[in-house]
Amino acid sequence: MASYSELTILRLTIAFAAAALLAGGAEAQCLHTCGGIDIPYPFGVGSGDDCALPGYEIVCNNSRPFYVDVEVLSISLQLGQMRVMTPISSSCYNTTSRKMDSNRWGFNLTTAPFMLSDSNKFTVVGCRSLAYISDPMSNYTSGCASSCPGDTVVSATNGTCSGIGCCQTTIPRGLEYYEVSFGESLNTSEIYNHTPCSYAVLMDYSNFTFSTSYLASPLKFNTTYGGEAPVMLDWAIFWGAPDCVEAQKNLTSYACKSDHSVCLNYSSGDQLAYMCNCNKGYQGNPYLQGSNGCQDINECEHPESYSCYGECRNKDGGFDCFCQAGTRGNASIPGGCQKNFLTPKAQVAIGTTRPAMALVAEELRRLALADEVQRYPQPPLVLEELSFVDMGSTMSIWYDESKTSGVYSLENKAVLSTEFAR
């Protein structure tokens, strides 16, 4: 005996979309949290045209958020995804009727601003199991089979879902509808004493780890997830305009309201839409205006995410990172800033005028005698390595006439002596 149920998400009317967008967000009486789960605009909990964009209304029932009849686990503005729970389909051997009893589920998103994410995988658990996922409207059918050699669960391995006790298959992007069915050629009628049931569900595979206990305990897989499994939905702004160029022609209905937001084209199968993100260096809600929208990130307060090993200064949309006074180098890497042994006067002097050479010579003489040079060896400062191109031809002539002499040791990596004729 088989029973079939379908979850249908209905698209609500969008007659008041322009008014809601013009408001640019929700008013105070609108809730944006339920049971500790954030419900960010354009989603919202409550009545009123400006609480949520039409088609994105959430119901909070006993501190649990629902989108129509599926429970919501999380909503991401940046990724354009919503994670919900959907039922697990099953096929179990009935010892009384001596037939397979199946409970099969389908999911219909054709009239909603959502699509099934290709991050989901169709997952089948069982020792003699064959299940299909199909969309009759697009002529799509796929599936997989799992078995256990010798019909014993000992052949399965924890954490492995590759055909022994568990199998998975991907789905195409843009799928809006699916239904589950079980193949009759493989069933548990002969192994019901060990594994009486087969299970199939489309689920977010990033949250799934196969356990052999799902085979040994008849209802373990089903009860572990409470008869439901998490599935990821993609969402975007599917109405009003097919892309960002067209959407920006009507600022009243344009959904990206923040001054620091950016519009991103979205395509999935035959569906064209757009979504909003905050500009680089900003975070928050791109669908809202003003202080509720995208705000500047103070990167200097989050060194774990924005590396700066020198002095950090925040600015709109970014930050500057530079070596502290008395050091130079690359402040964005560990140890990138090294102590600068040239005095400010000498740094200014290098490459400027003829009298400046005396200052450079004095600096070289000081370095040769300083204990600091011995304790913290630095790249050698050689007079001959200075750029006379920048100093000009007159400086080069003066240098030749000055009869300057210097001794440099490649082995010791230090200036031993430098003398200038006066």
pLDDT tens digits along 229-278: 999 999 999 888 999 999 999 999 999 999 999 999 998 767 789 999 99
**71 and 42 in a common domain:** yes
Q: Report long-range pairs for 360-363 (Cβ below 8 Å, ≥24 apart).
A: 360/386, 361/404, 361/418, 361/420
Average pLDDT over residues 302-310: 90
Domain of residue 414 covers: 344-419
**251 and 206 in a common domain:** no
**105 and 191 in a common domain:** yes
**Count of domains forming the chain:** 4
**138 and 4 in a common domain:** yes
Quick one: CA dihedral 367, 370, 371, 372, positive or negative?
negative
Q: How confident is the model at residue 99 (pLDDT cuts 50, 70, 90)?
A: confident
**361 and 305 in a common domain:** no
In this model, does residue 382 exceed pLDDT 80?
no
Q: What is the pLDDT of residue 247?
A: 95
Q: What is the pLDDT of residue 364?
A: 65
In this model, does residue 389 exceed pLDDT 80?
no
Does residue 197 or residue 381 have the better pLDDT?
197
Dihedral of the alpha carbons of 308, 314, 317, 319, in degrees to the nearest 10: -30
Which residue, among 233, 232, 221, has the nearest Cα to 88 in the 3D structure? 221
**59 and 201 in a common domain:** yes
**96 and 227 in a common domain:** yes
Pick the last residue of a domain from 235, 250, 269. Answer: 235
**335 and 279 in a common domain:** no
pLDDT tens digits along 391-420: 444 343 334 444 444 443 334 444 443 333
Q: Calculate the average pLDDT of the chain.
A: 79
Q: What is the pLDDT of residue 368?
A: 62
Does residue 1 or residue 160 have the better pLDDT?
160
Pick the last residue of a domain from 313, 339, 365. Answer: 339
**208 and 330 in a common domain:** no
Q: What is the pLDDT of residue 10?
A: 47
In this model, does residue 97 exceed pLDDT 70?
yes
**291 and 252 in a common domain:** yes
In this model, does residue 142 exceed pLDDT 90?
yes
Q: What is the pLDDT of residue 164?
A: 93
Average pLDDT over residues 333-356: 66
**82 and 54 in a common domain:** yes
**66 and 121 in a common domain:** yes
In this model, does residue 16 exceed pLDDT 90?
no
C-alpha 389/C-alpha 69 separation (Å) is: 77
In this model, does residue 151 exceed pLDDT 70?
no
Q: What is the pLDDT of residue 193?
A: 80
Pick the last residue of a domain from 310, 339, 368. Answer: 339
Structural tokens at position 233: 């939905």
